[in-house]
Amino acid sequence: MSNTPRNRPVWRLESTHPHLVEPAITALSQVTDPEIGLNVIQLGLVRDIAIEDGAAVLTEIMTTPFCPYAPALLEMSRQKAEEALGVPTKVAYGTEAWDFSMMEEGAGDDWGLY
């Protein structure tokens, strides 16, 4: 059975390097937002991962554009992705606005959102 969270966007990695999807999810699940207590996968912050020309680009958004933890979260995500993917990795800050519907199904239960 796959550990791929439901309600997650389709990453380009899935069509080019499908064997790296699960390791990426596992690694990025270790990056937790300290204010919310959920990881970047549960929150739906990782919008895309692509590997081209021997390097990866991880596109990530924050729950708010004013997130005080954004620099640390982005760097932790970059490091974890790079470890899991085995290639140099950069982070692109996505322009998409985050909302609760991006969360992994069931992740908002503790907040009473669903």
Please list the pLDDT of the chain residue by residue as tens digits (114 residues): 455 666 789 999 999 999 999 999 999 999 999 999 999 999 999 999 999 999 999 999 999 989 999 999 999 999 999 999 999 999 999 999 999 889 987 776 665 554
Our count of domains for the chain comes to 1
**Cβ 24 vs Cβ 50: under 8 Å:** no
Q: Is residue 93 part of a domain?
A: no
Task: Please report the pLDDT score of residue 64 as a whole number.
Answer: 93
Q: Is residue 103 part of a domain?
A: no
Q: Is residue 102 part of a domain?
A: no
Q: Is residue 79 part of a domain?
A: yes
Q: Is residue 27 part of a domain?
A: yes
Sheet holding 55-60, edge to edge: 46-52, 55-60, 89-93
Q: Is residue 41 part of a domain?
A: yes
Note the pTM of the prediction, 2 decimals: 0.89
For residue 32, the domain's CATH number is 3.30.300.130
In angstroms, the CA 95 to CA 65 distance is 9
Q: Is residue 105 part of a domain?
A: no
Task: Please report the pLDDT score of residue 4 as a whole number.
Answer: 60
Q: Is residue 111 part of a domain?
A: no
Task: Please report the pLDDT score of residue 3 as a whole number.
Answer: 58
Relative to beta strand 46-52, strand 89-93 is: unpaired
Domain of residue 79: give its range.
13-88
